[in-house]
Amino acid sequence: MGANFSACKSDPVGALPLQSNPSLGDLPESCAALILGYLDPPEICKLAKLNRAFRGASWADFIWESKLPSNYQTIVRKVFGDGLENLGKRDVYTRLCQPNSFDDGTKTVWLDKNTGSVCLSISSKGLAITGIDDRRYWNHIQTEESRFCSVAYLQQIWWFEVDGEVEFPFPAGTYSLFFRLQLGRSSQKRFGRRICNTEHVHGWDIKPVRFQLWTSEGHYASSQCFLTEPGKWNYYHVGDFVVENPNASTKIKLSMTQIDCTHTKGGLCLDSVLVYPSEFRERLKHF
């Protein structure tokens, strides 16, 4: 019996070569694509580096189409026109994950690379600011601390009012709207340290600022608060709204006011308005 077992283990001349064990490299590309379809985009990109099968499978259109928003074609037309017609779905996803400007560069939209959710930002130059053309009150200043490289700085004013609107084909879901503000004027870094001049900050602790939003689907939200923490950029939550029809553009109107004319207020930097999926609200606490 031992001799017979030894014969089975031997490789006599003329016998068929022993088969090597299968590996992931032997996996058919179609099977690899099915596996990748269950993963998040960053995980797909990591596995694409594993071997040739996963690398080829990672370009399959059906994988990336499932990661894109359901109305991604409408979003592409809004932002790019017909500029992405000849691209594969992976390239479309990659382009949409980058900051993409529209409306003369006053608005930027991008996809969260992990989830494919839509995020949108409106620059201070895309808002209607009372007194913005009078340099006694407002100035636009250049800064690296804004994704738009510019913020509106309020020196002093009695009637503070900011309005804005945006129309965009948001995918169905719940969204939160924020103003990004800072008490104090940032300047260039000195010796590697960030400098913020808060000398002219005043009036924001007397009466609260009121924030409001309205949508074309009938949603309304409002909030009010005192502006605090000089020298730090903060996201002030206006409210939430729901998008139910991704096939139609949602129009959002928003405002920020402090119109009590019994006192002046000043020393405020207004960077932008941000529209984020509501499940991302916790992220903003870490900025």
Residue 281, both tokens: 């609200």
DSSP 3-state of 174: strand
How does pLDDT run across 248-283, given as a tens digit for each residue? 999 999 999 999 889 999 999 999 999 999 998 888
φ, ψ for residue 2, nearest 5 deg: -65, -40
What pLDDT, in 10s, does the model give residues 1-29? 444 434 444 444 555 554 556 555 667 77
- Asked whether residue 111 carries a pLDDT value surpassing 90, the answer given is yes
Could you give the CA distance from residue 273 to residue 73 in angstroms, rounded to a whole number? Answer: 25
Q: Which amino acid is at 152?
A: A
Token pair recorded at residue 228: 């605090």
Q: How do residues 31-77 score in pLDDT, each as one tens digit?
A: 888 888 888 999 998 888 888 888 888 898 999 999 999 999 999 99
Among 81-85, 128-132, 159-163, 260-264, whose mean pLDDT is lowest?
81-85
Q: Which own/partner pairs from 259-264 qualify as long-range (CB within 8 Å, at least 24 positions apart)?
A: 259/159, 259/160, 259/161, 260/206, 260/207, 261/158, 261/159, 263/158, 263/203, 263/206, 263/207, 264/156, 264/157, 264/158, 264/202, 264/203
Alpha-carbon torsion angle 198, 199, 203, 205, nearest 10:
50
The reported pLDDT for the residue numbered 176 is 97
247 burial type by CB count under 10 A (0-12 exposed, 13-18 middle, 19+ buried): exposed
Query: Partners of 214 in the beta sheet?
Result: 220, 253
pLDDT of residue 6: 41
Which pTM value belongs to this model? Answer: 0.86
